[in-house]
Amino acid sequence: MTEVKKVLTIAGSDSSGGAGIQADIKTITVHGMYAMSVITSLTAQNTNGVFGVLDTPPEFVKKQLDCVLSDIRPDAVKIGMVSSAAIVRAIAGKLREYCVKRIVLDPVMVSTSGSRLLAADAVEALRTELFPLADLLTPNLPEAQCLCGREIKTAGEMEAAAKEIAGALRGGVLIKGGHLTDTADDLLYHNGEYTWFHSERVQNPNTHGTGCTLSSAIACNLAEGYSLKESVQRAKDYLTGALKAGLDLGAGSGPLYHAYGIG
């Protein structure tokens, strides 16, 4: 019998395959793991933007979660686009009911192309319902700014924001530096300790789905049993490789190439 780690992604579908559920399934598969998905929303999007969003009814999100969690227990879970407060509550209720462990929460709010992917009134639900369940929260700079209500530009401001956001969490917070200009340094704050993950900026404008890829790779590494720090470092290395692979698809900000280490 083949033993394999199982990773569940709870996220939105990206019809162009660069972000969301599709990026997560590619990442999980390339990590040699078994991917499962609970779809919170259908988006009609491509590299130019998001042209439509159709949310899954919350009862149907619950039904998907019941089917997966009662049958194949995931070793880790990644949560991405959750759309509405009702969907947030549906997910949180089921994760508590099934005592799901190793949860990475990517608080997706606005797409790279500028479309809102989380209703404004759902931010509070995210904070009260899902933050307490997460082992790691992975906001990008605009999301971290939204969560602490002020501008973040310097390394010192990133550290202060991480500490403040972590106050509402059980686990750690990773503020991603993809929106910085000179570097792509990410900051982890966990158990009172700061760890910086430094990275050169890859000169590739095709960054659609970087956040989704990073968070699902972290979930894979947690499923494998790595520590939080090791999981973030390995995921960052994977992400940098997928950016460096230099795929150039579509007219806008294109997707990453996941199979760069294969073949």
Ligand X SMILES: Nc1ncnc2c1ncn2[C@@H]1O[C@H](COP(=O)(O)OP(=O)(O)OP(=O)(O)O)[C@@H](O)[C@H]1O
Ligand Y SMILES: Cc1ncc(COP(=O)(O)O)c(N)n1
Please state the separation of Cα 220 from the chain's center in Å: 12
Q: Is 209 a catalytic residue?
A: yes
The distance of closest approach from Cβ of residue 199 to ligand X in the complex, given in angstroms and rounded to an integer, is 5
User: Which residues, in sequence order, are CB contacts of 3 under 8 Å at separation 6+?
Assistant: none
Write the single-letter amino acid at 253: S
144 binds ligand Y, rule: CB under 6 A: no
Rounded CA-CA distance 56/82 in Å is 10
Distances (CA, A) of 136 to 27, 44, 168, 176, 262: 18, 29, 12, 12, 29
Comparing every residue's Cβ against ligand Y, the nearest one is 20
Q: Residue count at the site for ligand Y (CB under 6 A)? A: 17
Instruction: Give the residue among 26, 34, 76 at the shortest CA–CA distance from 261.
Output: 26
Q: Which residue in 7, 8, 10, 19 binds ligand Y (CB under 6 A)?
A: 19
Please state the separation of Cα 189 from the chain's center in Å: 17
Of the residues 5, 26, 94, 176, which is catalytic?
176
Burial class, 72, CB count within 10 angstroms (exposed 0-12 / middle 13-18 / buried 19+):
exposed
Q: Is 56 a catalytic residue?
A: no
Report what 236 binds from ligand Y, ligand X, none; CB cut-off 5-8 Å by kind.
ligand X
Which one, 69 or 217, has the nearer CB to ligand X? 217
Q: Is 138 a catalytic residue?
A: no
Q: Which residue in 81, 87, 95, 218 binds ligand Y (CB under 6 A)?
A: 81
Binding site for ligand X (CB under 6 A): 19, 112, 140, 176-179, 184, 186, 199, 201-202, 207, 209-212, 214, 236, 239-240, 243
Both tokens assigned to 25: 């399934």
The distance of closest approach from Cβ of residue 218 to ligand X in the complex, given in angstroms and rounded to an integer, is 10
Of the residues 212, 213, 220, 236, which is catalytic?
212
Which residues are near ligand Y by CB under 6 A? 11-12, 14, 19-20, 43, 80-81, 108, 111-113, 117, 208-209, 211-212
